[in-house]
Amino acid sequence: MKSRRNFLKQSMLGAGSMALTPGLFAANPKGKAPKRFIFIHKGNGLLPDTLVPSTLKGAELEKEKRKEAFEVSLKNHELPEWMGALSEHKENMTILQGLSGKMCTTGHHTWQSSLGVYKANERLSSIKWATVDFELAKLFPSSLEHIELACFPSGGGNSRGNINGIEKGFSARGPQQPNYAFGSPKVAIEELFKSVLSDKESKIQYQLERRLLEFAATSEGAMAEELRGIEKAKVKNYSDSIENIRERNRKMDAMSDVIRKHAPRLDDKYFADDLNTVDRQIGHAEIALSTLISGMTNVVTLTADELGTIYTGVTDIEKENVNLHDVGHGKPVGQFEALQVREKVRRHHMSLIDRLVSRLKSVPEDGGTMFDNTMLLYFPDNGETHHSKGTEWPFIVMSGKNAKLDIAGKYIRLPHYGKEGHKTLGNWYTSILNAYGNPVEHYGAIDTGLAHMDQKGAIKQFLG
């Protein structure tokens, strides 16, 4: 590990002179920068009441209490105290309330539900289609297509096994195809930045992998050459795919200067196996930034936590192993009530978002900043609370000025579940997909409980 640290230190040396320009896209003609998306989801629900601006008054407060539709500009309001870290970015922020997600699995664990808008469970057959982040990644292709990082649960029914490994994640590439997520910053760096790692072991692994792929591509390619018709396709598709990976590797090699320049700047502690949850999240955020800024990917999905994630390192209770399930059931931790613990967790999430947004705002792109072309969504994986029903599904959205949805700077409450004009998670994702170039009529399963309503399509008022 020492040599890896050396590499990182070396890359740190350049940090001072590290021109804050994304090497790949600096040369892009104006307006051609890709759009980027960051999805951050959390377990244990997101309590809708906690997202209401404290300065909401009068008729609007009444509407909020009755969960009736309205919207106000955030400019005129104070954010809830725990969102303080984002107060600098109010003009980019949307607090979106009133969506529902009863067509998703709700309750404790939800697998791909909140990103795919269907009832996912532990069976792969429950994955009906690609999750929305993958659909967006298709619209803005990149070498790695999509990166998923996760603070995996280690306990509970949704346990993913090795929390430091590469395991089945919460996104899906397509029907019955779970995505794989990096569980620790260390394993993510080893995989994603291997082409620029300078320690011997990594270099050898890198060479072995290249040789193996070359071997496989040659063997299968030679076999395909001798075939024709359908039988040829049966082998050629496969050998072509191996060739595609090699091509991707070549592209990554060509980018290695850029990748090296933007490789995450992490202290040693982020490489420890017993990393606490809060540091793990910070490490993941840094990797997300590196891969986005270097242009390796345009879409990153981060599981900030899941109900089974044993939380460690939370401010004021650093020494505690916080069991989110117990917190969901109202159990206090140390001297803090459950609601206070929830707030501490969210407060840290806000600092992560600030880290991401601020950094992207510091990277020039296209005459503006990289953040201009970025949209970040923060939301619960299961709806409104611990034992959720999915009647509410709050979102915090951060979007740059080139965003294609007209929602920034607002607190928006949509009509409540079952009321006229009510909108679902499916409508919300449909809006995003439509706005960014996927004309899908409706993304997501429908809610059998809303059979009497027209549930399909985008949320028109968001499309500007």
User: Site residues (CB under 8 A) for other proteins?
Assistant: 103, 105, 107-109, 119, 121-126, 157-159, 161-162, 165-166, 168, 173-178, 180, 204-205, 207-208, 211-212, 215-216, 219-220, 223, 226-235, 237-242, 244-245, 445-446, 448-449, 451-452
Q: Which helix (H) or strand (E) holds 17?
A: none
Helices (H), 129-266: 132-139, 185-192, 200-225, 229-254, 256-262
Helices (H), 255-323: 256-262, 277-293
102: nearest Cα among 416, 445, 443: 445
Q: Which helix (H) or strand (E) holds 305?
A: none
Asked if residues 181 and 166 have their Cβ atoms less than 8 Å apart, the reply is yes
Q: Is the dihedral of CA 302, 303, 304, 309 positive or negative?
A: negative
CB of 231 to other proteins, least distance (A): 5
CA-to-CA dists, residue 221 to 208, 212, 243, angstroms: 20, 14, 9
Q: What is the dihedral of CA 246, 248, 254, 257, to 10 degrees?
A: -120
**Calpha distance 83→350 (Å, rounded):** 6
Asked if residues 142 and 165 have their Cβ atoms less than 8 Å apart, the reply is no
CB of 175 to other proteins, least distance (A): 7
412: nearest Cα among 72, 68, 49: 72
**Calpha distance 447→102 (Å, rounded):** 6
Residue with Cβ nearer other proteins (40 or 137): 137
State how beta strands 93-97 and 410-413 pair: parallel
**Calpha distance 61→147 (Å, rounded):** 40
**Calpha distance 99→416 (Å, rounded):** 8
CB of 29 to other proteins, least distance (A): 30
Residues in the chain: 464
Tokens of 366: 């296209």
251: nearest Cα among 212, 283, 296: 296
Residue with Cβ nearer other proteins (168 or 413): 168
Residue with Cβ nearer other proteins (2 or 228): 228
Longest CA span, the chain? 78
Residue with Cβ nearer other proteins (166 or 272): 166
CA-to-CA dists, residue 104 to 101, 278, 426, 461, angstroms: 6, 28, 10, 24
CB of 164 to other proteins, least distance (A): 8
**Calpha distance 432→464 (Å, rounded):** 12
Q: Is the dihedral of CA 14, 164, 256, 352 positive or negative?
A: negative
Tokens of 201: 């072991």
Residue with Cβ nearer other proteins (165 or 368): 165
Neighbours of 250 (CB within 10 A): 12
